[in-house]
A and B are shown apart, each in its own frame.
Chain A
Amino acid sequence: MLTVSTDKPGVIQKKRGVHRLKARMLSDRNLAVTDAFGLRNQLIHSGPPGDDVEALPVPTTLLVNSDGKVLWIDQAENYQRRSGPEVVMAALQTHLDAP
């Protein structure tokens, strides 16, 4: 699993410990990765006060196969909604366990 956010590496490390996260976590301060995927939020930028980041990604979860092809996407139409674990697990079972 890979995560992408605009957090600084130090902030990611701190939060990783708090939430006991094990994923490879990337820092996308200049939104280069976010833009490569076309996931920069185009509406109101409601980022952390005092943080100089230009924008934030639209919360999105992608399942990618071993050939680099996107099998499944779950995207939030508002930032208060996240992909719940049951939704992600169902997608993994549907797409990766399929015969």
Chain B
Amino acid sequence: MKTMTANRKKIGTTLGFVALAVAILAVALWSRQINQVAIPEDRTLFVAAFLAAAVLGVAAFAIGTRWFGGVPAIFAIAVGSFLPFTIAISPQQVAENPIRVGDTIPIFTALDDTGERFRSDDLAGSPVLIKFFRGHW
């Protein structure tokens, strides 16, 4: 009986490390896509990879692990759940009347990063590319 339990824990521990390896691989590939500004429209494969890491982590616990097998399993569950979570909250929707092609941009002012005030009037006569983004986040 003791040997059976030890074997189960060995398998669970191994599974925990496999889960961690899958999680690290998935994060590495996802990060590469982000750095290349090349996140695919269809993210099914990435979600599957992240979920696989989480499921393997849960399976490791279900089987039972040694104490050091639990750490990578927890990490894999946390990381594996992260991408599906961010995808679930990622849809964006603008206000009812957003600016559209053909519209004239509104007049606006704002401080730049040096504390100097920018006025949209300053743009007159020059084409400009304006990028609204989520900042450092």
Interface residues in chain A, defined as those with a beta carbon under 8 Å from any beta carbon in chain B = 1-7, 9-13, 15-16, 23-28, 32-44, 46-48, 51, 56-73, 75-85, 88, 92, 96
Knowing A66-B127, A73-B99, A84-B38, the reply to whether A37 touches B93 (Cβ < 8 A) is: no
Out of A56, A64, A69, A78, name the residue touching B91 (CB < 8 Å).
Answer: A78
- Return the chain B residue nearest A37 by Cβ: B99
| Interface size, B (range) | 35 or more
* Cβ B112 vs Cβ A24 within 8 A: yes
B100-137: contact bitstring with A at CB < 8 Å (1 yes, 0 no)? 11111110101111110010100111111111111111
Give the interface SS of chain B, mostly helix, strand, loop or mixed.
loop
Q: How far is the CB of B137 from chain A (nearest CB, A)?
A: 5
Inter-chain CA distance A64–B101, complex, in Å, is 9
Out of B123, B134, B137, name the residue touching A68 (CB < 8 Å).
Answer: B123
Give the interface SS of chain A, mostly helix, strand, loop or mixed.
mixed
Tell me which residues across on chain B come within 8 A of A41, comparing CB atoms: 92-94
- Return the chain A residue nearest B120 by Cβ: A68
Knowing A7-B135, A25-B112, A92-B129, the reply to whether A38 touches B99 (Cβ < 8 A) is: yes
* Cβ B130 vs Cβ A6 within 8 A: no
Tell me which residues across on chain B come within 8 A of A88, comparing CB atoms: 129
Tell me which residues across on chain A come within 8 A of B95, comparing CB atoms: 35, 38-40, 42
B97 close to A (CB within 8 Å): yes
Which residues of B in the span 76-97 have a Cβ within 8 Å of any Cβ on A? 86-87, 89-97
* Cβ A15 vs Cβ B136 within 8 A: yes
B48 close to A (CB within 8 Å): no
Tell me which residues across on chain A come within 8 A of B90, comparing CB atoms: 46, 78-80
- Return the chain B residue nearest A92 by Cβ: B129
Knowing A84-B38, A92-B129, the reply to whether A13 touches B103 (Cβ < 8 A) is: no
* Cβ B111 vs Cβ A33 within 8 A: no
